[in-house]
Structure 1
Amino acid sequence: MTNNRKRLAVLGGVLLVLAGAGVAFAAYLSTGTGTGETTSTVAVNSTIKPSSRGTALYPGASTPYTVTINNPNPYPVKVVSITASSSAAAGTCPAGTVTSPGLTNPPGTIAPNGTADYTLTATMINDPDNSCQGKTFTMQLDANLASAAG
């Protein structure tokens, strides 16, 4: 019987060690719940500035001119369109003497905090007022841009 007791004592000891290890192992397992949080940026509007005027216009003539659009945002954008426009009055020269058809879906993107140039066409009407000679024609342009984050 002594051997049986020894065996039982050893077996009991092993079982106690294994049970303790199981409790210790289980003590490292857990689950958790909670939330995460972040915010989104607010889009900053771009600006359009003239970068070249093209050649001097005369009745019925057209010329390309270039504008620069900036992207002040931290992500790339694509120009969806630049609206068509006509000139404002230039002194006594009437509004609408020069027109520009605008652009739709020009190729390329504008890098974050970057700029890109776009070429449009300006056309003088066939019968402008004589007071339009030597004037600088300004046209209001609006660009629609969309995120090009990929």
Structure 2
Amino acid sequence: MKNPTLRRVLVVTTVVGATLGGGIAVAAWTSSGSGAANAKAGTAAAPTTGTVAASAFTTGLLYPGSAAGDAKILVNNPNPYPIKVTGIVANGTPTGSGGTGACTTTGVGWNAQSPTTGNSVPANGSATLSLPSAVTMSTASEDGCQGALFAIPVTVTVVSG
């Protein structure tokens, strides 16, 4: 390239082209907006309870007029997350079975429970809770209630945990 005019035109064209190209890269559009992301919560399933074998009761047995005896409850958790039992209250009349005779008048009462230890139930699992001094037996209990296993209807309150 011996022509100086042509050389100047090429240099100017190159500089202008680089400047325009850089301007295009800087001039890219940007934008932002706002809105909401969506998620859906599951629905908690109520825990259920089950019976505990009579052989599990070896201490804290009931006697007419006794101050208090122990109770055991099996809590089943159908949820995909662990729960903690925060309260257990009676919601019906206790019944007795397997005693030495008729046990229509059980004399059994319930002391509301608010377990603070050993109250966790794993996700999709179950746990047996031992409740010391949860039940009482009055002197109104019939003789046929000796050796009976008592079913005490309760409502169990839980929280996710």
Cross-structure match for 2:111:
101
User: 1:72 Cα shift?
Assistant: 1.1
Which residues of structure 2 form unaligned runs of 5+? 97-101
* Alignment partners' CA distance in 2, 1:4 and 1:109: 89
1:60 to 2:61 alignment: no
Give runs of aligned pairs for residues 63-142 of structure 1, distance below 5 A. Answer: 63-84=69-90, 87-90=93-96, 93-94=104-105, 97-107=107-117, 108-120=119-131, 121-130=134-143, 132-133=145-146, 135-142=148-155
Q: SS of 1:64's equivalent?
A: strand
Which residues of structure 1 form unaligned runs of 5+? none
Q: Which moved more, 1:44-53 or 1:14-23?
A: 14-23
Whether the 8 Å contact between 1:86 and 1:98 is mirrored in structure 2 is: no
Whether the 8 Å contact between 2:71 and 2:130 is mirrored in structure 1 is: yes
Q: SS of 2:71's equivalent?
A: strand
Whether the 8 Å contact between 1:83 and 1:101 is mirrored in structure 2 is: yes
Report the TM-score when normalising by structure 1. 0.73
Shift of the 124–114 alpha-carbon distance from structure 1 to 2, 3 Å rule, reads same
Q: SS of 1:18's equivalent?
A: helix
* Alignment partners' CA distance in 1, 2:21 and 2:65: 96
Q: Which moved more, 1:43-52 or 1:125-134?
A: 125-134
Name the Cα RMSD after superposition.
Answer: 3.1
User: 1:82 Cα shift?
Assistant: 0.9
Shift of the 130–7 alpha-carbon distance from structure 1 to 2, 3 Å rule, reads same
**Count of residue pairs the alignment pairs up:** 145
Residue type at the aligned position of 1:103: Q
Once the two structures are superposed, residues 84-109 of structure 1 have per-residue CA deviations (whole angstroms, 9 ceiling, x without a partner) of 466435566236x1112131142242
Shift of the 52–18 alpha-carbon distance from structure 1 to 2, 3 Å rule, reads farther
* Alignment partners' CA distance in 2, 1:45 and 1:71: 8
Report the TM-score when normalising by structure 2. 0.69
